[in-house]
Structure formats: structure tokens, C-alpha cells
Amino acid sequence: MVSYALGDCGGCYACCTRAGSPPFRTDAERDAIPQALRDELEAYYASVAGGQSREAQGLPCLWLDEVTGTCSHYADRPPICSEFVVGDADCVGFITLGVGVPSPPWSEDPR
């Protein structure tokens, strides 16, 4: 049985490996980040127009630092990234899918 201590991802970044790009839900959310980051995202969106997104290719979020396993623009991450409830069904689902992702130290490994 898996038990979860809520409140800390503890080094896990499983959901970031599934996002492809920062999951902003609305233009207003995206408009709230610094211009340089908006420009970077617009360049990415333009690069995949008519082609395959990073998500479709199974690539992690554009903003994931794969060396440290952290968000490279943490202060400007989309609201949904901070609203994710650690240990809930969606979280466990991402961890279960997250082959190669470090096991969160706050739980038994559900994989």
C-alpha cells in the first residue's frame, strides 16, 4: 500500500515530463509572465505550427531543467503547476507513467 505525505514533491518531477510546454490555460495567464519568456514561448509555438509538439513527441516541458529536475522559470510557472495536489489521483497517475523519474522520497514507489 502506498502512503503519501502531502505538501512536498520531494525531488519528483513526473508531471513536468508530460507537459511538453508550460501548461498555461489562458492567454491572460501567459500574458502575466515577462516578455522575454513570452517571446520564447511564441518562438516555440511557431516552430511546432503544422508539426509535432514536444508533448506529442513525448518530450518533457520546455522549462524543465533535466539536469536538476527543477523548473527553470519557477517564479513564472503556470498557476496549474502550483495548484497540483501532491498525492492525489492525478499526481499518482503521473508518477506511475513517469518511467525514469526519481521516486518521491515522501512515498513508497508506486511504479
Binding site for ligand SF4 (CB under 6 A): 9, 12-16, 19, 22, 61, 63-64, 71, 77-78, 81, 84, 86, 91, 94-95, 104
Between 5 and 50, name the residue whose CB sits nearer to ligand SF4.
5
Nearest-angstrom CA–CA distance, 88 and 29:
24
Nearest-approach distance from CB 24 to ligand SF4, in angstroms: 9
Nearest-approach distance from CB 84 to ligand SF4, in angstroms: 4
Nearest-angstrom CA–CA distance, 21 and 48:
11
Nearest-approach distance from CB 13 to ligand SF4, in angstroms: 5
* Burial degree of 4 (CB within 10 A; 0-12, 13-18, 19+): middle
Q: Is 103 helix (H, G, I), strand (E, B) or coil?
A: coil
